[in-house]
Amino acid sequence: MRYVLYVLLGIAAVFVLLLIIAVIRAIIIKVKLPEKAVAVTYTPDEEKLYAEKLSAMVKEPTVSAQPDETDLERFEKLHEVMREKFPLIFKTLEVTDIDCNLILRWKGADSSKQPILFMGHQDVVPAPDDGTWKYPPFSGLIADGRIHGRGALDCKCTVFSEWQAVEELIAEGFTPPRDIYLTCSVNEENSGGGAEKIVNWFKEKGIRLAFAMDEGGAIVSGMIPGISTNVVAAGVVEKGSAHIKFTAKGKGGHSSTPVPGNPIARLSAFVCEIEKKNPFKKQFVPIVDDMFAHLAPYLTFPLRLLLGNLWLFKPLVGWVMPKFSPMANAFLRTTIVFTMSGGSEAANVIPAEAYVVANIRPSIQQNLDSCLAVLKKIAAKYDLEAEVIKGTSASGITDSHGEEFKFIEECMHACFPGFCFTPYYMAGGTDCRKYEPITDNCIRLCPIRVEPDQMNAMHAANESINTDALAETVKCYKYIMKNHK
């Protein structure tokens, strides 16, 4: 009896000791927030000029061309605007135009070094002027300290800022130490083949890149609970995405004489089972550990204690966080959600066939095939067929401890001191993953401050970006281009 008591006391003592260590660590890891940025100063005239230039680009309604569409007139019109707004670029850089997908090469002092590349897309998602927009979607209106319109954020601000940085550096007489490329595709939003055409051009020339920097992450505030400062999130990996159709077949017939085994009932039972318990296991992958380690010093105390001490609290964090945050849940596992369904055409007809469609986002640790195997096993219980309509596994992972990523991290601390910087596990997709064959470093970050309402307006009504944020972004790209050796 006494022996048991000693063991219990021993366990309690170890636990208290670990807790004390965790608390001390949580106190130590808090960062001191430094003062103002010096690398991103700009004048009111520059802010005004940038807003006007981006506004002109937003006014061109470059709504995504369909993959098989050949009419690229609206992109040619955007090119006209860009030729007018960036005269030095078109005078200095070598321009390659493949079906309006652009590749611009700025020759550096030493072209034998691997070039660096800044990219984006010219197309935007549709924006019907249906009364939900405060200002017409393609007005490019500058008001309330913002540039308004479809594409202002996704992602003409990225393309504009990258190009404006080059334009200014040319005017200053700067020669980059190595080649710098600017690229932008015309059909990122509908996963058309623009980025592939660009990448093939590099492949044919045997060019490998030190890094490719694309849209994806941004500078956000108020998005992560327990963190009051801005967070610069640089995407290093994208989850996969797949649409899977589950079909139930039956005999059909008249609703007056139903028989058991109705396709809709079987599909419903299947959906309920998955909704009740996500069949994909939770797992901390190294990128998530890394992300929490970067965020921890900036968090308020209870969260800092937990996320700053994953060595102790990982099981607790893995259990609690997904309950409070859908985003945290998405970091830890493959997600699945049912999005479409269909059955019989009439209310008094039993369907001979019914279906549901789910969108799944395969995580890094599970490719699409193994996700499908998990789902097929459950579907079989209800006699359902499963087929992938369209889908991909997760992208590769950029090394967040590698030289190029560390360089971007240093640039962000220089341009935005006091902001938290973190590698980021993206649930959405970009063109950047297509560049994996030509670079080890796909970095998905447009260093632009985005307000929570602006984040929510992506692909929705009232898209906008702040004029002062835009000016910082231009200067930040300049800093990156000037300081990469």
Instruction: Find the shortest distance in angstroms from Cβ 448 to Zn ion.
Output: 12
Which of 154, 167 has the CB closer to Zn ion?
154
Residue 114 phi, psi dihedral angles, 5° rounding? -65, 130
Q: Which SS3 state, helix, strand or coil, does residue 138 take? A: coil
* Comparison of 235 and 250: residue with beta carbon closer to Zn ion: 235
In the complex, minimum distance from the CB of residue 337 to Zn ion, in angstroms, rounded to a whole number: 21
**Residue in 47, 60, 123, 154 binding Zn ion, rule: CB under 5 A:** 154
Report the nearest approach of Zn ion to the CB of residue 465 (Å): 13
Nearer to Zn ion, 176 or 235 (CB): 235
Q: What is the DSSP string of 383-450?
A: TEEEEEEEEE-------TTSHHHHHHHHHHHHHSTTSEEEEEEESS--GGGGGGGGBS-EEEEEEEEE
| Identity of the residue, 67 or 302, whose beta carbon is nearer to Zn ion in the bound complex | 67
Which 298-357 residues touch Zn ion, going by CB under 5 A?
Answer: none
- CB contact at 8 A, 209 and 216: no
- The residue (of 65 and 155) whose beta carbon lies closer to Zn ion is 155
**CB of 232 vs Zn ion, minimal distance in Å:** 18
Contacting range for Zn ion; rule: CB under 5 A; set: 26-34, 148-156, 406-414, 439-447: 148-156
Site size toward Zn ion (CB under 5 A) is 3
Q: Please report, for the chain, how many H helices and E strands are present, in that order.
A: 15, 17
| DSSP string computed for 54-74 | HHHHHTS--B---TT----HH
Residue 458 C-beta: closest distance to Zn ion, Å: 8
* Contact stretch for Zn ion (CB under 5 A) within 29-37, 42-50, 153-161, 385-393: 153-161
Count how many residues are written for the chain: 485
DSSP string, 276-315: HS-SSPP---HHHHHHHHHHGGGB-HHHHHHHTTHHHHHH
Strand 116-121 with 180-185, pairing: parallel
Q: Which is nearer to Zn ion, 215 or 404 (CB)?
A: 215
61-90: which residues touch Zn ion (CB under 5 A)?
none
Taking the complex as a whole, how short is the minimal distance between the CB of residue 25 and Zn ion, in angstroms? Answer: 38
When asked if residue 264 is in the footprint of Zn ion (CB under 5 A), the reply is no
Distances from the Cα of 156 to the Cα of 51, 87, 468, angstroms: 12, 18, 16
Sign of the C-alpha dihedral computed for residues 92, 98, 100 and 101 taken in this order:
negative
For residues 382 to 411, the per-residue mask of contacts with Zn ion, x marking binding by CB under 5 A and - elsewhere, is ------------------------------
Determine the interface stretch with Zn ion among 85-93, 155-163, 290-298, 438-446 (rule: CB under 5 A): 155-163
* Residue 64 CB, nearest approach to Zn ion (Å): 10
155 lies in the binding site for Zn ion (CB under 5 A): yes
The smaller minimum CB distance to Zn ion, of residues 167 and 189, is found at 189
Which is nearest to 216 in space by CA: 471, 381, 435? 435
- Per CB under 5 A, contacts with Zn ion among 178-237 are 215
Give the distance, in angstroms, between the CA of residue 463 and the centroid of all CA atoms in the same chain: 17
307's tokens: 């996320």
Distance CA 420, CA 6 (A): 45
> Of the two residues 108 and 428, which places its CB atom closer to Zn ion in the complex?
428
CB of 129 to Zn ion, least distance (A): 21
- Give me the residues that bind Zn ion (CB under 5 A), please: 154-155, 215
